[in-house]
């Protein structure tokens, strides 16, 4: 019998219980003891293995995006964009690519309710013929910070107090009072969009600016946007309390039940594009993730559709061990100098190696579905079978060669080494315009959210005034409404 023929799989089950090594277990109900009363013997290997395996059942929880749900499906190109990119999976209308998607909350823990106010992760892994492309984004098109060096502090502020293990508003408002760049993100988080109805009724965004490169090497800046065909719906007021109180996994259940019933969720993919030569012409920095690109200047262009038509087979194998990294791109797609993206290129893969081990990309859910070859081997939990004698490059005994060169953006970079912020901050204009675009009732709900947050007993007078000043600079009437409301509450 070929020992490498069968990989571990539940499809190759024995009809009776065995140990991990395949030895039959004749009694899985009783420990081996001295007489009927015991004590238990250490030589009961099955007992020891069973307990030890159970003790190691949980892997480290994700620091962020711990609570999530996944589904599988396909992406189909509907519009030709080969003038923008040489990416194989976008080569022609009608081309389909298998994929898996993971939706998630961001800050809260693995077992937390899915109705809490929080950004939602929207991560898509395309299994292309040229390797995996991970489009790792959120349901909002902007982010709290523009430089990844702030990310650990930001997450610490949003996470529970390390002393009490309670998420507390004063800590969040204290941290972000130092970062007015966060105002635009808060117009999404404290808006109705802060609590989606479920995962099917929310938009997705790549957040970052990426680069598309065509076969001639021409580069184009791009932003990715997912639009649900069933529309955007949210939970407002007490709706979230009622839904979360009846089922803390309501969004996971909705996604699973919809697919099982044949009501397949679908999103349209749109892009916005910009010529990199024009990036200095605007009042905002196009690589600043705290800003959106105005759609009247950069209209949405349709690209394709994503359909989720298959539920995952196992939650642990295809959700907990599913690992995304924005560094995973394919020819025809490239990075930009976006400061947050540049740090995520390193940080995500580093996190996955900690959570899942150095060979996490060998796990079936993460492995590419195309042929792949390199000399990375051994290490913890490496289960790839290798019988090659040559594990170095180059070699006259191994005919593997370099792939054909693919174009990447090329431009001359010059400047001084320095730690600095971008020049075009412009932190207040877009949040103010967004607030003024809402209906009065939606504006009032936003004001109520801020009054509630700023009424926290541990929010200092200084921090409260900073936030009123910020919102006044975004929209004078908004700052006045918050200040007036807080004064009324304090006089009650």
**Where is the binding site, in residues?**
348
Q: Using CB atoms within 10 Å of the CB of residue 50, give its burial: 0 to 12 exposed, 13 to 18 middle, 19+ buried.
A: middle
Separation of first and last alpha carbons in the chain: 81
Say whether 65 is catalytic.
yes
From the list 77, 85, 75, the residue with the least C-alpha distance to 330 is 85
Q: What share of the chain is helix, strand, coil (3-state, %, to 5)?
A: 30, 15, 50
Helix (H) or strand (E) holding 366: none
C-alpha–C-alpha distance, residues 184 and 151, integer Å: 17
C-alpha–C-alpha distance, residues 210 and 10, integer Å: 40
Distances in Å between the alpha carbon of 351 and those of 18, 327, 364? 34, 13, 18
CA pseudo-torsion sign 443, 236, 139, 471: positive
Question: Nearest 5°: CA angle at 365, between 124 and 131?
Answer: 65
Query: Known binding site for heme: residues?
Result: 348
How big is the chain by its Cα radius of gyration, in Å? 26
Catalytic residue among 65, 179, 208, 250: 65
Distances in Å between the alpha carbon of 189 and those of 119, 125, 145, 194, 465? 7, 25, 14, 4, 20
HSE at residue 11, side-chain half, CA atoms within 13 A, is 3
Catalytic residue among 138, 184, 319, 359: 138
C-alpha–C-alpha distance, residues 305 and 327, integer Å: 23
From the list 343, 417, 420, the residue with the least C-alpha distance to 143 is 343
Q: SS3 letters for 44-81?
A: CHHHHHHHHHHHCCCCCCCCCCCCEEEEEEEEEECCCC
Q: 182-216 burial by CB neighbour count: b if 16+ within 10 A, else e?
A: bbbbbbbbbbbbbbbbbbbbbbbbbbbbbbbbbee
What six digits make up the tokens of 342?
A: 């540049």
Please report where in the chains the tokens 């950069």 appear, as a residue.
298
Q: Assess contact for 266 and 309: CB atoms under 8 A.
A: no
Give the active site residues. 65, 138
């Amino acid at each position: 019998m070929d020992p490498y023929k069968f990989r571990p799989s539940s499809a190759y089950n024995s009809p009776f219980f065995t140990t991990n090594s395949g030895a039959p277990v004749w009694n899985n109900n009783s420990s081996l003891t001295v007489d009927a009363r015991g004590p238990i013997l250490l030589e009961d290997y099955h007992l020891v293995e069973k307990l030890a395996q159970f003790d190691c059942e949980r892997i480290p929880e994700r620091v962020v995006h711990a609570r999530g749900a996944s589904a599988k499906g396909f992406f189909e190109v509907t519009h030709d964009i080969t003038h923008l990119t040489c990416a194989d999976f976008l080569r022609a209308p009608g081309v389909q690519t298998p994929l898996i998607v993971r939706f998630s909350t961001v800050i809260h823990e693995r077992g937390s309710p899915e109705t809490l106010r929080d950004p939602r992760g929207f991560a898509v892994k395309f299994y292309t013929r040229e390797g995996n492309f991970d489009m790792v984004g959120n349901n909002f098109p902007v982010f709290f910070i523009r430089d990844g060096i702030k990310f650990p502090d930001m997450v610490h502020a949003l996470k529970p107090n390390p002393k009490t293990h309670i998420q507390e508003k004063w800590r969040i408002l204290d941290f972000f009072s130092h970062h007015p760049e966060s105002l635009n993100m808060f117009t999404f988080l404290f808006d109705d969009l802060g609590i989606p109805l479920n995962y099917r009724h929310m938009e997705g965004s790549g957040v970052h600016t990426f680069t598309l490169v065509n076969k001639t090497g021409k580069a184009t800046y791009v932003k990715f946007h997912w639009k649900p065909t069933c529309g955007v719906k949210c939970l407002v007021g007490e709706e979230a309390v009622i839904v979360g109180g009846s089922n803390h996994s309501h969004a996971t259940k909705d996604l699973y039940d919809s697919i099982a019933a044949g009501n397949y969720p679908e999103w349209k993919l749109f892009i916005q594009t910009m010529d990199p030569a024009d990036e200095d012409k605007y009042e905002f920095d196009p690589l600043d993730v705290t800003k959106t690109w105005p759609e009247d200047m950069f209209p949405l262009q349709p690209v394709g559709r994503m359909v989720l038509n298959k539920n995952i087979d196992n939650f642990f194998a295809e959700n907990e061990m599913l690992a995304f990294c924005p560094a995973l791109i394919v020819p025809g797609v490239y990075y930009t100098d976006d400061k947050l993206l540049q740090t995520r290129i390193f940080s995500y893969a580093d996190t996955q190696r900690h959570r899942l081990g150095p060979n996490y990309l060998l796990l079936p859910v993460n492995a590419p579905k195309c042929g792949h070859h390199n000399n990375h081997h051994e290490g913890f939990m490496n289960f790839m079978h290798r019988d090659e004698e040559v594990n170095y490059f180059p070699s006259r005994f191994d005919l593997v060669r370099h792939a054909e060169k693919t174009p990447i953006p090329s431009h001359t970079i010059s400047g001084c080494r320095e730690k600095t912020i971008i020049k075009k901050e412009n932190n207040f204009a877009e949040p103010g315009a967004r607030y003024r675009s809402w209906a009065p009732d939606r504006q009032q709900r936003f004001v109520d959210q801020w009054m509630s947050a700023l009424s926290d007993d541990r929010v200092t007078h200084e921090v409260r005034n900073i936030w009123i000043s910020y919102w006044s600079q975004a929209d004078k009437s908004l700052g006045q409404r918050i200040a007036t409301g807080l004064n009324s509450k304090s006089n009650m």
